[in-house]
Structure 1
């Protein structure tokens, strides 16, 4: 009776709401699955147990040097979110579920990126993340692990390649600017041609344009004003 309180302390264990306890009795898995949350009992010297956290865990995948499909070396890192969905399997089927998931994430990242071109790696991050998540989730399912999300954090290119891409982008912008300028010149030439045809057919329109030009020049308040002479008047003097 004296040792009863101490015996109860050794027999009664508590796990939190987000935890489960996997109990082994004499080396065998105790039937009924993982225990918790709340109180559970063990037999001292006969039972051993392992607590498993069911909360979502995140970790960074270190930058991986990857050779893309078009033979460009890039460094890519990612972040993975996962949780244990079956505590019993995560203890009995794999020695260290967390470490195994980390190692598998790094190799999966390299394998997925190795099938992509550089342009796809830069523009299809969401697609790459979804592919990684599906592959990891399938591979870790026998471990009782659920991979919830994968995000590509950063893609680092060699310095020389960055300079080459910047030069290519600058050349493309200059080419577009020249095309736009040429199109503007073409439209302006067409407008001038149409205006010349209208003035040729209507002499009064030419006179109105002449007066409008004089009005514009006088509004500038210049000290010197040059009056253009009509071509017909000049022809009379030349004769």
Structure 2
């Protein structure tokens, strides 16, 4: 940080304190440590101007007694130790990994719900008939001779549905011949 100040009462500055420059620096450093220690890290990084203003307000009273006027305080840069930087990097990486795991788990839950809905839909006789029809249709599109065994009981199909299946198969076979 940088502190800008000037002398307003030379008498107080000379006789009120032994070394005004050293006193201002020490007071500023102490107040800076106290102010930063009371805040969370992200707040320290984002609100340097507010922190500088808070430090200036704290230093103004003793500086006035020493015959000095503090014009402004600037926080130029906040330097973190290598260990803290590594710790912050690891924490951010772990947070991203955790968030990706939550997203993946949510996707699995959604997929399971969709599979359950599909199974419930396919559990009905009408849905099974449609599925058989689609399978027959796709098998008839492939080239070569086919023998199709239908494990589905024709007793479960109404005559109308069975006729639809047969018609679809015959239509697909006829289309292939042409």
Distance in 1 between the 2:20 and 2:102 partners?
Answer: 56
Distance in 1 between the 2:129 and 2:111 partners?
Answer: 19
Distance in 1 between the 2:68 and 2:129 partners?
Answer: 85
Distance in 1 between the 2:91 and 2:39 partners?
Answer: 14
- Matches for 1:142-161 after TM superposition, within 5 Å: 142-161=65-84
Q: CA deviation at 1:204?
A: 4.3
The DSSP-based 3-state class of the residue aligned with 1:80 is strand
In the alignment, is residue 233 of structure 1 matched against residue 156 of structure 2? Answer: no
- Matches for 1:10-159 after TM superposition, within 5 Å: 78-82=1-5, 87=8, 89=9, 91-95=10-14, 100-101=20-21, 103-114=23-34, 116-117=36-37, 120-121=40-41, 123-124=43-44, 125-126=47-48, 127-159=50-82
Q: CA deviation at 1:182?
A: 0.4
Q: CA deviation at 1:139?
A: 1.4
Q: Is the 8 A contact 2:31 2:58 kept in 1?
A: no
Higher relative contact order (Cα pairs below 8 Å, separated by 6+ residues): 2
Q: Is the 8 A contact 2:4 2:70 kept in 1?
A: yes
Shift of the 135–118 alpha-carbon distance from structure 1 to 2, 3 Å rule, reads closer
- By percentage of residues, which structure has more strand? 1
- By percentage of residues, which structure has more helix? 2
> Which residue of structure 2 lines up, in the alignment, with residue 4 of structure 1?
none
Relative to the length of structure 1, the TM-score reads: 0.45
Shift of the 190–93 alpha-carbon distance from structure 1 to 2, 3 Å rule, reads same
Distance in 1 between the 2:43 and 2:130 partners?
Answer: 60
Q: Is the 8 A contact 1:81 1:148 kept in 2?
A: yes
Shift of the 118–233 alpha-carbon distance from structure 1 to 2, 3 Å rule, reads farther
Q: Is the 8 A contact 1:105 1:136 kept in 2?
A: no
> Which residue of structure 2 lines up, in the alignment, with residue 180 of structure 1?
103
Distance in 2 between the 1:235 and 1:205 partners?
Answer: 9
| C-alpha RMSD over aligned residues | 4.0
Q: Is the 8 A contact 2:13 2:67 kept in 1?
A: no
Shift of the 206–148 alpha-carbon distance from structure 1 to 2, 3 Å rule, reads farther
Q: CA deviation at 1:129?
A: 2.0
Shift of the 133–205 alpha-carbon distance from structure 1 to 2, 3 Å rule, reads farther
In the alignment, is residue 196 of structure 1 matched against residue 115 of structure 2? Answer: no
